[in-house]
Amino acid sequence: MLLAMTDWQSTQNRDGGWGYGRGNSWTEPTVLVLLAQSVTQVERGSFEAGVNFLRSVQRRDGGFSPRADVEESTWVTSLALLLPGEALGRDVRVRGNEWLGAQTGRESGWNFRFHQWLAGNKEEYPEGWPWFPGAAAWVIPTALGVLAFERVLKTNESKAVRERVRTGRAFLMNRICADGGWNHGSNRALGRDGDSYPETTGIALMALRGVAGTAQMTAARKHLASCKTAEGSAWLRMGLAAQGEIATVTEAPAARTVTDRALLALAKATRNPLLS
């Protein structure tokens, strides 16, 4: 039986977090449920317990790890920093943003660029964000990094932060697939054009609100018309809404996980907390 969309407490773990299904708590579903609560019904005790779980997975370097028993900070830091207002507290947010600002894809580093130059490759490499430190940049962590830093700019103008938003968007524009959407990484592999995916296309459109072209909107509409997953459908609807187009679906794919439920709640809301 599928749970009611706002029945968040029934799946909350004792440590205050949520899992992808039944079991251990993870940062990603916990953040998404808290964001969903912020636009549906905030259950104060549940919300505060979830925030406390997130504080417990912030590491000494300022970033957040994907779960309690992982020591390394990763891409989920961007997601956590999208929580509303001062939910995490100023110090937690400042340290998280400092960690995020220090991260960049391996291909943006001096050593990689130098060897590319030696090989005769003069291509520019806009700064994106990786899944974890030291790796290459990918579409989803870059899009979420852009959204997190746009949140910073709403209250604190910073030339460095604005530049990372610009280069992050340039990275996304550089990775558009031939069909107009986005996949997880490169738009070409082994000499052929890569296919785009629903969730990556939706998330990229959110980070590029106001600047996406006709081909990107067309790709998103096509994906939405045939999308079979709640996750993909929700991200696509949020991405289109960020571009000013409210998409309707006659029958949304069923929500089968806590993450699905949270994303669908966000997609249905009149206000998207990921953008506010």
Average pLDDT, the chain: 89
CA 209 to chain CA mean position, Å: 14
- The domain of 77 spans 1-102
175 part of a folded domain: no
Residue closest to 99 by CA, chosen among 69, 59, 128, 68: 59
How far is the C-alpha of 82 from the C-alpha of 4, rounded, in Å? 24
Does the pLDDT of residue 224 top 60, yes or no? yes
Which helix (H) or strand (E) element contains residue 130?
A: strand 129-130
Question: Is the entire prediction scored with pTM above 0.75?
Answer: yes
Our count of domains for the chain comes to 1
87 part of a folded domain: yes
Residue 192 confidence class, pLDDT cut points 50, 70, 90? low
Does the pLDDT of residue 113 top 80, yes or no? no
Does the pLDDT of residue 229 top 70, yes or no? yes
31 part of a folded domain: yes
For residue 117, the model assigns a pLDDT of 42
* pLDDT: which is higher, 116 or 237: 237
Does the pLDDT of residue 77 top 70, yes or no? yes
94 part of a folded domain: yes
8 part of a folded domain: yes
Given CA atoms 158, 153, 171, 104 in this order, what sign does their dihedral have? positive
35 part of a folded domain: yes
185 part of a folded domain: no
Q: Is 67 left (phi over 0), alpha (psi -120 to 50) or beta?
A: beta
Residue showing tokens 């994106």: 128
DSSP assignment of 242-265 equals: HTT-----SSPPPP-SHHHHHHHH
Does the pLDDT of residue 112 top 60, yes or no? no
Residue closest to 79 by CA, chosen among 169, 166, 146: 146
* pLDDT: which is higher, 252 or 262: 262
67 part of a folded domain: yes
